[in-house]
A and B are shown apart, each in its own frame.
Chain A
Amino acid sequence: MENLYDVLVIGGGMIGSAVARELSRYDLRIGVLEKNLDVCYETSGRNSAVVHGGFAYDTGSLKARLCVEGNRMMGDLAKELDFPFLRCGKVLVGNTKEDMETLKRTMEQGEANGAVGLELIDEERLHELVPAVVGKFAMFSSRSGILDPFQYTIALAENACENGVEYFFDSEVTGIGRDEEGNYHLATTQGEFACRWVVNAAGLGCKTISDMLGIEGYRVIGSKGDYIILDKRTGPLLPMPVYPVPSNTYMGIHVTNTIDGNVTIGPNADMVSDFRYYGVPQENMDYLAESASQLWPHIHKADYIRNYSGILPKWVDEQGVIQDFKIEIRDELAPRAVNLVGIESPGLTAAVPIARYAIEQMKEREELRENPAFNPCRKGIVRFESLSTEEQEKLIRENPDYGEVICRCEKVTRAELLQAIHNPLGVSTLVGIKYRTRSMMGRCQGGYCQMRLEQMIEEELGKKETEILYARQGSQVFFGKVREEA
């Protein structure tokens, strides 16, 4: 068959893109089918952005093993792929005797999992680390960190793309069939695709795709968490994420510094079955602020700049007990199909180890030849704001577009926006450009820059105003011109 892919990955989030990137180390024709218009519209872009230590998961589980591995390699990965990552540590803050018992158990579990850099600390040391926190003692995980989840996902996808992986957006898989040669035929909203191997990295759609593959019976529920984002003015008060003492199933509402200096509060955990609804209810916002204020009493409504929510796909058993990651090849039901189910937290930390674990299973069934041209490195867009005055000066001299500040809050320049608009994946939505540059992410939320940004997209990509999309399909920003130009 002419148009036969070796592998089609369903889902271009951080897991699908990590799988695609790791697969591009081999001599394979690879495609990624993504139903949205960019790679981080769902769980990959809607989370706490915390790189976990690996202490919170049952010893022996894939979650524990792959998280510890992912944590260990994150520094190197961030260098290779040029995305922002900070190993700032994090604290789990307690007050009661029971809290102390739980933290001790958590630490033992962490050590059994191979997590390193865990330490029980007293109030004095806690306040040295995070002066603004309220608590009597804490478990400090020095190897935990934070990253930019958009840049991380985009970096994985762009590196995959640069290594020959083809991305197809707006391509939702609607049916899967197999021919007599055992090749898969994927019906999508953009036509049919055929492949020898298929990877289900559909995130929230993992059960739907698993069912289509003939691997039925998984029960997947959504755990929806809401967040509030605070102004950068609050950032200096929070040098690392502050968590409460966890329960067995839930990390609790935490206060997290972001890599760019904002603070996020959240998430709650509501069980949901609608995986498209990302609304944030008033009572949840109130609850988040109230609850997190007990840990970190610096939450004021005047500092709110935005709220958002994300949904984690959790694989549960009959009793509703949350299960481990499932990464399997079911030869008897769906040969040459890698099925990933229930990839929730710590999927962000573990994305590349998850991808490698999945590929190991493929390699048990088929020899994969190395791709000698594979390049593990990718360069991101140089952020003007992150540079010293001397570096900024030099950059403007080399490229005057760096001297034109378009987004005032985040100090994003024309040069950065041009690079983002001409991104390798061909994403052209306003939110896509926002994720790549941080324009519209600041305190004025695009009040100053969105018109300029929108105009640049039209000019650079030759689009009509009615073709400009905000985020999803159907999210047109304009109905046309006010007056036709003479």
Chain B
Amino acid sequence: MEKRDVIIVGGGPAGLAAAVQLHKKGVANILILEREHHLGGILRQCIHDGFGLSRFQTALSGPEYAARFIEEVKRCEIPYQTDTTVLEISPEKVVTAASREGLVQYQAKAVILTMGCRERTRGALGIPGERPAGVFTAGVVQAYMNLYNRMPAKEVVILGSGDIGMIMARRLTLEGAHVQAVFEVQPIPSGLPRNIEQCLNDYGIPLYLSHTVTQIHGDSRLTGVTVSQVDEKLRPIPGTEKEYACDTLILSVGLIPENELSIDAGVQLDGRTRGALVDEHYQTSVEGIFAAGNVLHVHDLVDFVSMEAERLADAAALYVTGETLADCPLGIRTDENVGHTIPQRVSGKADFQLSLRVRRMMKDCRVVVRQNGQEVAAKRMKKALPAEMIQFVVRADKLVSQENLEVSVEC
């Protein structure tokens, strides 16, 4: 069996950033396994710009952003293998992968999970009605248009105000399709404010909050959808139904970290993120298996994915060179305003980056970290939105004990 210090599962933004950072830290016996023909992951189909503002202080398209890392991987001669699908990861860190060359098993010292996420589908939502052609997730439409040069839509309704859906609303409009409206079941948008402005408002595409699709019509190609208003419990309100004739329904209703391989490796997941439970080293419940990027929790900006993977690589580099990573016995609890945090456990001995999302929109508030009821870190927010991940550093020297931390949002 081939031995590697680190196997990176997935050559998207997280995997690439982790690889480059590991190399910088002197770890050379790496292998990136990528199932597609090219490195770059989902960035390859994101031809719009706006990537890289935090990481590179410049606006790049998705492929340009990916290219910065891919060039670095090539320059550093970091080994990677495309067209290779990982079939299994064992708790002992044996990675089994298939490619046209055969089935290969690697014994890794550390495994880095960077598989990204998948889109929530119509079936997962349980939207009632028929099952015609013309119901797509936003990412599928993006792939068809940007990678395959296929036009899948003319008259479009979009369900969900996720970022990819809004970006595709603009893209479709520019390519001659007619986007009638975007409907969002929640009372607030789920995507970033800048996308609402640049992708919907600039093109006169209305966004209806507290609305959802309650019927899908058509036995061959989609002929239309029924849309209803919903009440505060998100239940459709009878009598508010409205019909929209359309040939395409695009769903942008959420992303789910793709953790099937992780589960088989024995990695424990957090029910809130559907990603792994990790400590400040981004190490999962299985020693030597690390996770970062969208497989860990869904990000709104790829820059944060890269930076998270770089922090992971710092810890993983220590791990494979035989250093003991500090124990992380301190849990991080959250109040009802906080959806989740990453990490979920810390050592209390080192500064760490706290990532979190709020559950509802709040204005003029403070995100506060407490220990024994005492404030140890805080961030003031003019406006906190569920769509925007909040990040700040918690400093170890401010901690007051070995008790768990509590994160809350206060107005």
Q: Which residues of A contact B (CB under 8 A)?
A: 228-229, 233, 276-282, 285, 301-302, 304-308, 389, 392-393, 396-397, 400-405, 408-409, 411, 413, 443-448, 450-451, 454-455, 465, 469-483, 485
Residues of B within 8 A of A411 (CB): 85, 87
> What is the bound-complex CA distance between A253 and B194, given in angstroms?
48
Q: Which of A278, A400, A465, A478 contacts B100 (CB 8 A)?
A: A400
| Beta-carbon contact of A405 and B122 below 8 Å | no
Q: Does B151 make an interface contact (CB < 8 A)?
A: yes
Residues of A within 8 A of B153 (CB): 479
- Chain A residue, CB-CB nearest to B140: A447
Secondary structure call for the A interface: mixed
| Beta-carbon contact of B119 and A444 below 8 Å | yes
Q: Could you say which of B216-224, B311-319, B354-362 contacts chain A? A: B216-224
Q: Does B152 make an interface contact (CB < 8 A)?
A: yes
Q: Which residues of B contact A (CB under 8 A)?
A: 35, 83, 85, 87, 96, 98-103, 118-119, 121-126, 128-134, 137, 139-140, 143-145, 147-154, 175, 214-217, 219-221, 236, 260, 263
Residues of A within 8 A of B175 (CB): 482
| Beta-carbon contact of B35 and A304 below 8 Å | no
Residues of A within 8 A of B132 (CB): 470, 475
* A–B Cβ pairs within 8 angstroms, 25 of them: A228-B126, A277-B130, A278-B130, A278-B131, A279-B216, A282-B126, A282-B214, A285-B126, A306-B122, A307-B123, A393-B103, A396-B98, A396-B100, A396-B101, A396-B102, A404-B100, A405-B35, A411-B85, A413-B98, A444-B118, A444-B119, A445-B122, A454-B150, A470-B132, A481-B149
> What is the bound-complex CA distance between A306 and B124, given in angstroms?
6
| Beta-carbon contact of B98 and A477 below 8 Å | no
Residues of A within 8 A of B131 (CB): 278, 308
| Beta-carbon contact of A476 and B150 below 8 Å | no
Secondary structure call for the B interface: mixed
| Beta-carbon contact of B219 and A392 below 8 Å | no
> What is the bound-complex CA distance between A215 and B103, given in angstroms?
60
> What is the bound-complex CA distance between A225 and B93, given in angstroms?
45
Q: Which of A454, A475, A482 contacts B149 (CB 8 A)?
A: A482
**Known contacts A408-B35, A471-B133, A479-B154; 20 further A-B pairs (Cβ under 8 A):** A228-B126, A277-B130, A278-B130, A279-B129, A282-B128, A285-B128, A305-B124, A306-B121, A404-B85, A405-B35, A447-B139, A451-B144, A451-B148, A470-B221, A472-B220, A474-B220, A476-B133, A477-B152, A478-B151, A481-B149
| Beta-carbon contact of A448 and B215 below 8 Å | no
Residues of A within 8 A of B134 (CB): 477
Given A403-B103, A404-B83, A280–B129 Cβ distance below 8 Å? yes
> What is the bound-complex CA distance between A392 and B105, given in angstroms?
13
| Beta-carbon contact of A277 and B100 below 8 Å | no
| Beta-carbon contact of B219 and A278 below 8 Å | yes
Distance (whole angstroms) from the CB of A156 to the closest CB of chain B: 25
Distance (whole angstroms) from the CB of A274 to the closest CB of chain B: 10
| Beta-carbon contact of A305 and B220 below 8 Å | no
> What is the bound-complex CA distance between A308 and B151, given in angstroms?
27
Given A285-B126, A444-B121, A475-B132, A482–B220 Cβ distance below 8 Å? no
Residues of B within 8 A of A233 (CB): 263
| Beta-carbon contact of B140 and A451 below 8 Å | yes
Given A307-B123, A389-B103, A445-B123, A474–B152 Cβ distance below 8 Å? no
- Chain A residue, CB-CB nearest to B125: A304
> What is the bound-complex CA distance between A183 and B83, given in angstroms?
57
Distance (whole angstroms) from the CB of B407 to the closest CB of chain A: 24
Given A482-B150, A483-B149, A229–B98 Cβ distance below 8 Å? no
Given A278-B131, A476-B133, A403–B150 Cβ distance below 8 Å? no
Residues of B within 8 A of A228 (CB): 126
Residues of B within 8 A of A482 (CB): 145, 149-151, 175
> What is the bound-complex CA distance between A445 and B215, given in angstroms?
19
| Beta-carbon contact of B98 and A455 below 8 Å | no
Residues of A within 8 A of B119 (CB): 444, 447
- Chain A residue, CB-CB nearest to B146: A482
Residues of B within 8 A of A279 (CB): 128-130, 215-217
Residues of A within 8 A of B214 (CB): 282
Residues of A within 8 A of B83 (CB): 404
- Chain B residue, CB-CB nearest to A301: B126
- Chain B residue, CB-CB nearest to A403: B100
> What is the bound-complex CA distance between A378 and B130, given in angstroms?
34
Which of A408, A450, A455 counts the most B-chain CB atoms under 10 A from its CB? Answer: A408
Residues of A within 8 A of B102 (CB): 393, 396-397, 403
- Chain A residue, CB-CB nearest to B220: A474
> What is the bound-complex CA distance between A72 and B99, given in angstroms?
42
Residues of B within 8 A of A397 (CB): 102
Residues of B within 8 A of A301 (CB): 126
Distance (whole angstroms) from the CB of A264 to the closest CB of chain B: 12
- Chain A residue, CB-CB nearest to B215: A279
> What is the bound-complex CA distance between A255 and B370, given in angstroms?
47
| Beta-carbon contact of B121 and A477 below 8 Å | no
Question: 9 closest Cβ contacts across the A-B interface?
Answer: A470-B133, A306-B123, A474-B220, A405-B85, A400-B100, A475-B133, A475-B220, A445-B121, A403-B100
Residues of A within 8 A of B126 (CB): 228, 282, 285, 301, 304, 307
Residues of B within 8 A of A307 (CB): 123, 126
Distance (whole angstroms) from the CB of A280 to the closest CB of chain B: 6
- Chain B residue, CB-CB nearest to A469: B133
> What is the bound-complex CA distance between A84 and B122, given in angstroms?
28
| Beta-carbon contact of B99 and A404 below 8 Å | yes
- Chain A residue, CB-CB nearest to B177: A479
Q: Which of B96, B123, B221 contacts A476 (CB 8 A)?
A: B221
Given A305-B123, A307-B126, A465-B150, A474–B221 Cβ distance below 8 Å? yes
> What is the bound-complex CA distance between A304 and B253, given in angstroms?
15
> What is the bound-complex CA distance between A444 and B153, given in angstroms?
21
Distance (whole angstroms) from the CB of A440 to the closest CB of chain B: 10
> What is the bound-complex CA distance between A472 and B102, given in angstroms?
38
Distance (whole angstroms) from the CB of A456 to the closest CB of chain B: 12
Given A305-B124, A408-B35, A473–B152 Cβ distance below 8 Å? no
Residues of A within 8 A of B125 (CB): 304
> What is the bound-complex CA distance between A409 and B124, given in angstroms?
15
Distance (whole angstroms) from the CB of B15 to the closest CB of chain A: 16
